[in-house]
Amino acid sequence: HDARNPHSGGVMRKCGMRYEGTLRQSAWCNAGIGDMCWYGILAAEWQA
């Protein structure tokens, strides 16, 4: 998710995803170049 929108990260955490890292200056949108936060979940964690 876009690092400028922390609420979208909250949605991912509520789904059980874990923060894995930030890709700095990796995304471009109308607001300019920004950081992207990456979240992930393993299949075994999703099924639990």
- The residue behind tokens 């609420």 is 7
Top pLDDT among 37 and 46 is at 37
Query: What amino acid is encoded at 13 in this protein?
Result: R
User: For the chain, what is the mean pLDDT?
Assistant: 92
Query: What amino acid is encoded at 9 in this protein?
Result: G
Residues 4-32: tens digit of each pLDDT: 899 999 999 999 999 999 999 998 878 78
Task: Enter the pTM of the model.
Answer: 0.76
Instruction: Give the domain extent around 31.
Output: 6-47
Top pLDDT among 24 and 47 is at 24
Q: Report pLDDT for 47.
A: 83
7 in Cβ contact with 13 (< 8 Å): no
Number of structural domains (the chain) is 1
- How remote is the C-alpha of 7 from its chain's centroid? 10
Domain membership flag for residue 1: no
